[in-house]
């Protein structure tokens, strides 16, 4: 086994500490979980593990029912969130996310199949919080765990409201299209 020099080890630790601190800061940003204080975010990050994901890798697959359940905080790189539910043939890009963004929080809290796919468009570094990590966080740091769950619940509620607004718009569009079709049929009769 190769030995790591003290200088290389110190450099790796410094890089790891900087990434740890950056991850904690991003968890407090509006794009992530702004309900956490920096101290609480540091506690949450201590239960996360870094994961390098090569470009063009799908690390969350829509419909995957065998997923272990995890959430990823993007530290470096870019992730494309897509769904095939709408068109059934070609993926529809929902969002393109960069550093400081979270993906997979629904899969962290439930055991249902994934609702979208996440694919890296560049080499990416993420901080991963697994369902087991979340359980340990809640058991060992209940205050930070509760705050994290409240922040996730707030994000999910925001998405639910956004989807309800979209459904109302789609319903109006469908009604207008139906009226236009009926008017066209009457005019041609």
Q: What is the pLDDT of residue 34?
A: 63
Mean pLDDT by groups of 10 residues along the chain of 189 residues: 44 64 82 77 92 93 84 93 74 86 87 89 93 95 91 85 88 90 84
Q: What is the pLDDT of residue 9?
A: 47
pTM comes to 0.77
Nearest to 79 by CA among 33, 45, 125: 125
CATH superfamily of 6-188: Jelly Rolls (2.60.120.10)
Q: What is the pLDDT of residue 86?
A: 58
| DSSP annotation string for 49-111 | EEEEE-TT-EEE-TT-SS---EEEEEEES-EEEEESTTTSSSPEEEEEE-TT-EE-HHHHH--
Structure tokens at 71: 């959430």
Interatomic CA distance for residues 134 and 149, integer angstroms: 9
Interatomic CA distance for residues 80 and 93, integer angstroms: 7
Beta bridge partner(s), residue 127? 50, 73
Interatomic CA distance for residues 17 and 26, integer angstroms: 14
Q: What is the pLDDT of residue 56?
A: 94
Q: How far is the CA of 144 from the CAs of 9, 27, 141, in angstroms?
A: 30, 12, 6
Q: What is the pLDDT of residue 31?
A: 65
Please enumerate, as own/partner, the contacts of 18-22 that have beta carbons within 8 Å and a separation of 24 or more: 19/50, 19/75, 19/125, 19/127, 20/45, 20/46, 22/75
């Amino acid at each position: 086994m190769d030995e790591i020099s003290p200088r290389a080890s110190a450099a790796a630790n410094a890089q790891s500490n900087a990434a740890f601190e950056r991850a904690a800061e991003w968890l407090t940003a509006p794009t992530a979980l702004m309900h956490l204080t920096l101290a609480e975010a540091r506690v949450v990050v201590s239960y996360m593990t870094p994961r390098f994901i090569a470009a063009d890798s799908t690390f969350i697959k829509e419909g995957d029912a065998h997923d272990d359940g995890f959430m990823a905080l993007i530290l470096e790189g870019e992730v494309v969130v897509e769904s095939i539910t709408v068109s059934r043939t070609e993926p529809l890009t929902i969002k393109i996310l960069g550093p400081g963004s979270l993906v997979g929080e629904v899969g962290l809290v439930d055991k249902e199949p994934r609702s979208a796919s996440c694919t890296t468009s560049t080499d990416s570094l993420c901080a991963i919080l697994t369902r087991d990590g979340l359980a340990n966080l809640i058991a060992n740091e209940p205050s930070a765990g509760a705050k994290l769950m409240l922040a996730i619940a707030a994000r999910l509620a925001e998405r639910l409201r956004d989807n309800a607004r979209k459904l109302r718009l789609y319903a109006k569009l469908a009604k207008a299209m139906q009226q236009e079709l009926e008017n066209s049929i009457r005019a041609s009769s």
